[in-house]
Copies of this chain bind each other. A is one copy, B any other.
Amino acid sequence: MSNVRTPLPVLQPTGVEPCCPPLAERPFTPEEAERAARMFKALGDPVRVRLFSAIASREGGEACVCDISDVGVSQPTVSHHLRKLKEAGLLTSERRGTWVYYRVEPSVLAAMGALLGSPAAA
């Protein structure tokens, strides 16, 4: 099952109910905490943050793996980290000819931003 390509759930770009409410709104339930921790954990590695940022900041939020290999690690390591980001639902990928293209859905960024939006921040 884990290799089946399941599309990401369609999230509202406004991020109203993405994964979870904002962290500061009310205590998370165990289920919400599991989902949020999964996303955070995927970004809990500097190479993955660099890859995610490299993809997210490209026009269209999409990059060929050939575009994002300058993060100081080997190609197999890049592939490993991209797979981890994909498994966490932060990236989608599509093969076109020789190359695999990775994509950050804007809704993913919106969902994570909403999670961290603090109604108490002042």
Residues of A within 8 A of B (CB): 13, 23-28, 30, 32-34, 36-37, 40-50, 52-54, 56-57, 61, 72, 104, 106-107, 109-110, 112-113, 115-118, 120-122
Contact = CB atoms under 8 A, between A and B. Distances in A.
A107 B52 CA distance: 24
A33 B57 contact: no
Contacts of A121: 13, 106-107, 109-110, 113
Nearest to A34: B46
A50 to B, nearest CB: 5
A117 B106 contact: no
Contacts of A41: 40-41, 44-45
Nearest to A111: B116
